[in-house]
Amino acid sequence: MIVLKSEREIEVMKTACRISAEALKKAGEAVRPGVSTAQIDELIREFIEKSGATPTFLGYNGFPASACISINNEVIHGIPENDRIIRSGDLVSIDLGASINGFTGDTAATFAAGDISEEAKRLKDTTEESLYEGIKAAVPGGRLGDIGHAIQSYCEKRGYSVVREFTGHGIGTNLHEDPAVPNYGTPGRGVRLAAGMTLAIEPMINIGKADVRKMPNDWTIVTADDKPSAHFEHTIAITSNGPIILTKCG
């Protein structure tokens, strides 16, 4: 069931989203060669808790950390570890959430560690740009397929593939709510979009094929061909005046 939020509820939700965005910004600033993913996770946890919020991911369905930190061919759900050291040229995707006042925010971005290849930079930039194409399509009266189609067409025209097994989602009092928000679709099809919907839109885009596989830790998802992937996400609210990004700093 899709739960529409009132203007007051969206205002309350903005706090969780702001903290999430600020935590992601700080995490991104910490991405550099020689740093472990566990160090970044600890920074995220400390910031969220000092802000009076709770790291949404910590313990969620048993997840052992405050953020998912995925490197290169890892699409999502990378588990931070002390011995996972970031190297120059890595693409580092960080996905996190913060919960406060009964609501949660969810956001993600892919960061460059040192100098990255032109191929990796194009992937990162295209994935981020596709997120904003999807957001632009999130308007009252539109359809859910419009969002997915905007992302899919933008990326596929540039030679990239869209992960199908994992999607964005509704968000609010819970991290995952209805509806699922695929990063592919047919325009004019699917659930009708309405003011009051709050969605986490999150393209996961691969350089190679779209196929993915799960690692033995039962969490981390990697590309089946071991080629790089990128991931960006914003929590948005659909209003009568169009979409607003809740997880945006400043």
CA angle 249, 158, 96 (to 5 degrees): 30
**Predicted local distance difference test score (pLDDT) of residue 184:** 98
- pTM equals 0.97
Average of pLDDT values for 229-246? 97
Give yes or no for a contact between 54 and 79, defined as CB atoms under 8 angstroms apart. no
Q: Which two tokens stand for residue 116?
A: 């990255």
Q: Which two tokens stand for residue 148?
A: 């997915």
Top-confidence residue, 109 or 250? 109
Block residue for tokens 């930079």:
121
Average of pLDDT values for 58-62? 97
**Predicted local distance difference test score (pLDDT) of residue 209:** 97
Mean pLDDT, all residues of the chain: 98
* Amino acid type, 84: R
Residue extents of the structural domains in the chain = 7-245
**Predicted local distance difference test score (pLDDT) of residue 249:** 80
User: The domain 7-245 is classified under which CATH number: 3.30.360.10, 3.40.30.10, 3.90.230.10, 3.40.190.10?
Assistant: 3.90.230.10
pLDDT digits (tens, 9 = 90+) for 136-177: 999 999 999 999 999 999 999 999 999 999 999 999 999 999
**Predicted local distance difference test score (pLDDT) of residue 250:** 64
pLDDT digits (tens, 9 = 90+) for 208-218: 999 999 999 99
